[in-house]
Structure 1
Amino acid sequence: MTDRQTPHKNTKEKKPRFNSLARFRIVTIFMLLLMMLILFKLFYVMLVEGEQWRKIAARLNPPELVMVNPIRGSIYDDDNRLIAVTAPYYRLYFDFRAPSFTQIPKDSMNRMLDSLATLISNKYAESVHPVSKQDLLKQWKKGISKKSRYWPVYKYNVSYLELKEMRDCFPLAPHRRNTRSVPSPFSRIITQEEQSSRMNPFGSLAMRTIGRVYGDKTDGLSHARNGIELAYDSLLRGQTGQAIRTYTGGKRNINTVQEPVRGADVYSTINMDVQSVVENVLRQRLTDVDAGSGTCVLMEVETGKILAISNLGKTGPGKYAETLNYALQDMSEPGSTFKTASMMVALDDGVVHPDDIIDVGNGLWQVAGRTVRDHNAHRGGYGKITVAQTIHYSSNVGVAKIIQQHYAHKPDDYVQKIRNLGFGLDLKLEIEGYEKALIRKRSDNPNRWYGTTLPWMSYGYETQVPPIYTLAFYNAIANNGQYMRPYFVNKVVDAEGNTVIENKPTILIEAICKPETLGIIRQMLYDVVWKGTGKPVQSEVVSISGKTGTAQLAGSGGAGYRGAGGTRYQVSFCGYFPSEKPKYSCIAVVREPNPSKEYPGGGNVTGPIVRDIAEHMVALERPMPLDSLGLKGAVPKLPKKVAHGNNDEIQQVFAAVKLPYAVNEKDQDKKWVAVTARDNRMELQALPLYNDKVIPNVVGMAPADAVYLLLRRGVKPRLIGHGNVISQQPSAGTPVKAGMQVILRLENVEEPKETNAKKS
């Protein structure tokens, strides 16, 4: 039994092994066939269908996370007028791989391209960037041959209104089907990209101080180059947002995920009316004396606010532009304006008195083997004069003798007292790149302290003082001894209207000298203008006190003061007005005036600059008396037309010329009014300006007021003609849109002339 059962057991054990092996073979064969099929399909797609799929892939773009650029904050002057603002513009591009491009028949496409080229060439024929139809078509054909997705339609900026006008014309205009408007297929191959540019409504006025902004935005943010723009760049530029950019149906779509944060607004101390006066006066004087460069700064005495600052460098014959910020960065020897500081130290120490006699002899004085020279040495010098007269006549010998006699044995004591007058301070100005005054002590480097250092330093050599430091010192004299920190910005306000920075007047030194010393110095500076070297500064309109300055410029590379090109000069005048109760301080510095045009002296070259500015300031603040207009006793005739505008300013003008007017009580506090002549008076009524999200009514306004209101709402005005605004497009009440441009037509509306009933 056992022998017969053994084979039976072996047979049962082998059968499962046979079935498992068979199944394995079947699965292996199936997998091999599947792999062969996959490889076949893969090669088929690559070799046979590859071109077709590559074309499809080229038309597809995956969703992309992109940055949304914020609007850079604006900069205002002290009268809340825009002086730097970001305006939107557009760049247009062809997408020559968009589905619409291949779907439009070739003949139709060529006809549409031809029409677009005609439209653009005609539109910009008289612009600063004209382009011919032939050049456009030639450029576009290059883009077609390259199958570019990003080919420029027009290489330059396009405003919102210009873009809208183009989209209303063939071939971009939508078609009408029954009652529906259907987008033009051609418009689908053009994409628009919104960008922005920085505008300065007042042109080059104070440009170096306001600053400039770089054009590129690699990180989505605008970046400043200099000036106030750079000082407050982190606040002005705002914060970027985020958006998802998709590409569907041949069009780019952007869905905002995170809104950008608009930059903060900066309110400066600069007054553009005053700035215009300062720059025009400086420019004219530089032209008259054919100077190399010049700077002028006007400061409010009590506060230290910089009301105007102009820095002009020569760019060509008779041409000047804002180049370097000389007022803050020019490390030059100030010359005789520094004598006032030396005299203040000596008077405060009691080593001299104003009536003491100083013998300056023939104007030449030998010290340490060198000669100190007065400007009138060739005429025999001043001889014996008082201490006060050394300032009146700007005697180098007189001041040098005083300082050398009393401080030669303790020069560091003298230098420290000079530094204590403000020349040793860090003014911490907002403008990047400003320099600090450098008045060195003997102990700083004994090897570079010579027998001539102290006497030369006493009258403005051996020092390096930017003009802003000299002005701050003279401003302290005008301000009863209080040394104020100069500043350029009143406040910074964020996008929510919150004040994030507010600058207040800051006293850096409570008293720069004793009260009796201050009184003596102020009398000396008054006498400089009326008895001494500052006589060209005299004015019949306003009393001015100050000090003239003349310094030779050292040549480069150790050439000394008399280089190969002859002696070069820097002349200046620094002072304040009115003398009795100072309100403004001012410094004017001119480098390298042409001696053949005018003798290079501080009084006759720069004195008239300060005088003219002072007289302009009086005119701006004090309305001209009616008598001076030849209208005494006359009843002013009502004008037929007066520009609408600022309520306060219009009332001030009417009051100054004694023009009868009336304003409704409810409109008294309104900022903008319309003016109408009725019966025997002018009537002022509030203008409906709506809110900041709609276009205001500016018809009837002067261009300056109209531009101000429009820029405040972020739209770009375009002026056509001259005179007041007679029409605007779009009309008042239109919602403000990004990039919107408003066309203002200007015209001078003349009053009808009276005609006689009879003809002779």
Structure 2
Amino acid sequence: MKKNKRINSGARFLIYTFILLFSILAGKFFYVTYTQSAEGVNLIEYGEQKWLKSDTLSAKRGNIYDRSGQPLAEDIPAYTVIAILKKDYPVHVKDPKEAAEKLAPILDTDEEKLEKLLEKENVFQVEIPAGRNISHSKKEKIEALKIPGISFDRGSKRYYPNQDFASHVLGFTGLNDENKRAGLMGLEKSLERQLGERDGHVTFMGDRYSNELPDSEEKIVPPKNGKEVYLTLDEKIQLYLDQAMTQADKKYKPKRMVGIVADPKTGKILAMSSRPSFNPNKKDITNYTNYAISSAYEPGSTMKIFTLAAAIEENVYNGNAYFQSGSYKLPKITRPIYDHNRNGWGSITFDQGVENSSNVAFSILAREKLGYERLRTYLSKFGLDKETGIDLPKEASGRVLYNYEIEKVTTAFGQGTTVTPIQQIQAATAVANGGKMMRPYMIEEIKDPKTGKVIQDHEPFIAGRPISEATAKKTRDILEKVVKNGTGRPYAIEGYSVAGKTGTAQVTDEKTGKYLHGWGENIFSFMGMAPKDNPRLLMYVAVDRPSIKYPEMGYTPVANIFTSVMKSSLQYLNIVPEDVKLAPGEKTKKEHGSPLLSLKGENAADAAERLKNSGFQPVVLGDGNTIESHEPYEGAKLLKGERVLLYTGGKVKMPDLTGWSYMDILRLSSLLSLKETVTGNGFAAKQNIKKDSIVKKGDFLVVQLKSARAAAEAEEKSKEDDKKVTD
């Protein structure tokens, strides 16, 4: 009995012990289940950290386009080189020295430093600094080396296909204070809310190497792409401006330059450029200021446009009245106001005063004809005392210096008072657009890339009506005489009537506060519009202190830029050169040429023969038999001897362009979708793509134009070369 008693007691002890332990375990289980933690560690968070994996779903920053849809800023694929160093991972860098030897030349980095990086211990992988954002071609070169453990992270980078094209307008992107990509300058910065992207992500349960586990449930937060921005800029006109300014920059090395081309009917900015410039792909920046909108300076005689228009509007201008040029004395002021040649031109008419840019003429208009109060009112009407409101960041405004009589008089001819180039452009639209002053703008519309829905649309806005249509026309007529007979002669363009005004502004020395003196120590500028009777383009160019020596003239680089850009742009817009004179008794200009009928679908050989017999020059492009398209277009008026380009598809051989006109080259580029660059004036003399070379869509065509005589000599040489080959 005693023995059984002892056994029962032992059994009970074991049972109680088991129950106690079970209770503790059960309690612990329920505690963990309830609190979801153990030893102060949140088990769900621990599990997620250990097994829950996440991959980024990259979003795309919005593209920026010109008005025809050509990309000006876009995201392109980029790759970052990754080296896996964990030795128990199946594929890792096995020989750091050999890997560094092969990678260093491609990545342009120090081989020794790279080797040390690849020898790192206790890390799974490293990112190679010199291998960030590499191009696809570099990636392919590295892949061809077949280095174990080297892989790539795919991403994207911002790319500006036209390099230093409108760089101060577009700006650039980079890493912000939060180490995230964002716009840091220009439209890239001001439109960050619209252009900016937001990455998405996908989460799943995975192993230690981030391989997804079976039956894992994915959770996806989709990426949000940036909006698409369309500008008023025209890629072709902007390229004309950039190229002309780059040439002037190289030759004359000015302190700074600015150029603006606008559509005066709408206020659209078609081109805008500042120098010094930079390439946003390289970020080689020395100047962060967009001088076109952010720099105010004394305009010089371009200001006379608005004083003249005000005097005409107030009916106090008589162009046939005479005044004594040379100097003009103000009461109580010792030093008189002088004309730029000091001596003047004797007794001349006010129209002649405008043509010769007489300061005396405009002093009389301001003081004796208009009166200071009326002149000041017109400065406001023309918007010269406030910002234009253009949709670009960091617009500045000038300062109207109008306290003392001398300041009021000098303001009339552009001295003392300061304005920005964009303020002058806006004011000049009133003269070019029948009295209606158009607010300048750059952003055409903003679209949702997914739906194509227009989120923001810009309509032309009339900023004011400072003058009447009749005044605008009379002002243009007088400004045309400036170009024909006066200081604007270097700005004349053959075949087109140009109205405009020159400017030579004094520059203040930042150290002394006094005006600089010396040959070329001025800002030389020109405001011009064409064609005069119905201006399609309005252009302002300013060159600050070009490096010139006597007797070189400061207006030369300005005239070179204006005439080449304006002429190229007018031709690009298919604005036909005007007839200079009408025949006796004619009231309207004659319609010249015969309309071209559609040739599409015709046999190329038959059509070419027919055109040749009719006195035209057919050029067949392609090895097909049937005409797919042609230039000029159907209905275009053709003169005898003009070229007609017939595209038949297939392989296209480059023709000999020697002797071709600028318009012929534009038509060829349009028909074959080439990217042309044309330099010089006259007719084609040189081309980068050799005759009979196969050309493809998107090829770059560079053509140098020369005078008719030089082009004829080049054409003769080309014929001789062809004869030698044939012989």
- State TM-score, norm by structure 2: 0.70
Equivalence for 1:4:
none
Equivalence for 1:137:
115
Distance 2:205 2:694 in 1: 47
Q: Is contact 1:93-1:153 (8 Å) kept? A: no
Distance 1:251 1:168 in 2: 26
Give 1:173-212 correspondences, 5 Å limit. 187=149, 192-212=152-172
SS at match of 1:344: helix
Q: Is contact 1:370-1:452 (8 Å) kept? A: no
Aligned partner of 2:495 among 541, 548, 563:
541
Q: Does residue 611 in structure 1 map to residue 563 in structure 2?
A: yes
Equivalence for 2:521:
568
Q: Does residue 150 in structure 1 map to residue 126 in structure 2?
A: yes
Equivalence for 1:475:
429
Task: Give, in angstroms, the shift of residue 89 of structure 1.
Answer: 1.2
Task: Give, in angstroms, the shift of residue 600 of structure 1.
Answer: 5.2
Q: 1:480 to 1:92 in 2, by over 3 A?
A: same
Give 1:85-234 correspondences, 5 Å limit. 85-97=74-86, 99-100=88-89, 110-111=94-95, 113=96, 116-117=99-100, 119-121=102-104, 124=106, 129-131=107-109, 136-141=114-119, 143-144=120-121, 147=123, 149-152=125-128, 155-160=131-136, 162-163=138-139, 166=142, 170-172=146-148, 187=149, 192-215=152-175, 218=178, 220=180, 222-234=181-193
Q: Is contact 2:80-2:127 (8 Å) kept? A: no
Equivalence for 2:68:
79
Distance 1:466 1:745 in 2: 39
Q: 1:371 to 1:70 in 2, by over 3 A?
A: farther
Q: Is contact 1:206-1:322 (8 Å) kept? A: no
Q: Is contact 2:483-2:491 (8 Å) kept? A: yes
Q: 1:531 to 1:420 in 2, by over 3 A?
A: same
Q: Is contact 1:550-1:571 (8 Å) kept? A: yes
Equivalence for 1:274:
237
**Range that drifts further, 73-82 or 345-354:** 345-354
Give 1:260-339 correspondences, 5 Å limit. 260-313=223-276, 324-339=289-304
Q: Is contact 2:436-2:467 (8 Å) kept? A: no
Q: Is contact 1:422-1:469 (8 Å) kept? A: yes
- CA deviations 1:392-451 (Å, max 9, x no partner) are 11111221122123566xx4443122111232454221110112343255xxxxxxx223
In structure 2, what residue type is equivalent to 1:469?
Q
Q: Is contact 1:374-1:381 (8 Å) kept? A: yes
Equivalence for 1:503:
458
Aligned partner of 1:580 among 533, 536, 540:
533
Q: 1:503 to 1:252 in 2, by over 3 A?
A: farther
Q: 1:281 to 1:80 in 2, by over 3 A?
A: same
Task: Give, in angstroms, the shift of residue 168 of structure 1.
Answer: 6.7
Task: Give, in angstroms, the shift of residue 540 of structure 1.
Answer: 1.9
Distance 1:641 1:414 in 2: 67
Distance 2:203 2:544 in 1: 56
Q: 1:544 to 1:132 in 2, by over 3 A?
A: same
SS at match of 1:257: strand
Q: Does residue 431 in structure 1 map to residue 392 in structure 2?
A: yes
Q: Is contact 2:64-2:73 (8 Å) kept? A: yes
Distance 1:263 1:386 in 2: 60
Structure number with greater CO (CA < 8 Å, separation at least 6) is 1
Task: Give, in angstroms, the shift of residue 459 of structure 1.
Answer: 0.9
| Number of aligned residue pairs | 594
Distance 2:244 2:64 in 1: 25
Q: Is contact 1:64-1:244 (8 Å) kept? A: yes
- CA deviations 1:206-231 (Å, max 9, x no partner) are 111122112458375x3212323233
Q: Is contact 2:85-2:118 (8 Å) kept? A: no
Distance 1:369 1:61 in 2: 88
Q: 1:96 to 1:258 in 2, by over 3 A?
A: same
Structure 1: gaps of 5 or more residues: 1-18, 35-56, 173-186, 442-448, 663-672, 678-699, 706-721, 728-743
Q: 1:601 to 1:92 in 2, by over 3 A?
A: closer
Distance 1:608 1:252 in 2: 64
Task: Give, in angstroms, the shift of residue 573 of structure 1.
Answer: 0.5
Q: 1:754 to 1:208 in 2, by over 3 A?
A: closer
Task: Give, in angstroms, the shift of residue 69 of structure 1.
Answer: 4.2
Q: Is contact 1:363-1:382 (8 Å) kept? A: no
Q: Is contact 1:115-1:170 (8 Å) kept? A: no
Distance 1:607 1:535 in 2: 9
- State TM-score, norm by structure 1: 0.67
SS at match of 1:561: coil
In structure 2, what residue type is equivalent to 1:278?
L
Q: CA RMSD in A?
A: 4.6
Task: Give, in angstroms, the shift of residue 601 of structure 1.
Answer: 5.0
Q: Is contact 2:256-2:276 (8 Å) kept? A: yes
Give 1:3-22 correspondences, 5 Å limit. none
Distance 1:469 1:620 in 2: 27
- CA deviations 1:281-318 (Å, max 9, x no partner) are 22323444332111111111222211111211289xxx
Give 1:335-346 correspondences, 5 Å limit. 335-346=300-311
Identity of aligned residues (%): 20
Distance 2:620 2:398 in 1: 57
Equivalence for 2:360:
397
Q: Is contact 1:74-1:82 (8 Å) kept? A: yes
Q: Is contact 1:213-1:229 (8 Å) kept? A: yes
- CA deviations 1:629-679 (Å, max 9, x no partner) are xx994663534569xx997879689997324457xxxxxxxxxx76779xx
Distance 2:201 2:630 in 1: 44
Q: Is contact 2:108-2:130 (8 Å) kept? A: no
SS at match of 1:590: strand
SS at match of 2:529: strand
Q: Does residue 350 in structure 1 map to residue 304 in structure 2?
A: no
Task: Indicate the structure (1 or 2) with the bigger Cα radius of gyration.
Answer: 1
- CA deviations 1:127-173 (Å, max 9, x no partner) are xx4347665334312x23x646434285343345654665576444x
Q: 1:387 to 1:651 in 2, by over 3 A?
A: closer
Distance 1:540 1:756 in 2: 37
Q: Does residue 658 in structure 1 map to residue 610 in structure 2?
A: no
Structure 2: gaps of 5 or more residues: 1-8, 25-45, 279-283, 578-591, 595-611, 654-670, 677-691, 703-720
Distance 2:346 2:725 in 1: 80
SS at match of 1:533: coil
SS at match of 2:276: strand
- CA deviations 1:20-72 (Å, max 9, x no partner) are xxx9xx99xx99xx9xxxxxxxxxxxxxxxxxxxxxx9xx8564767654200
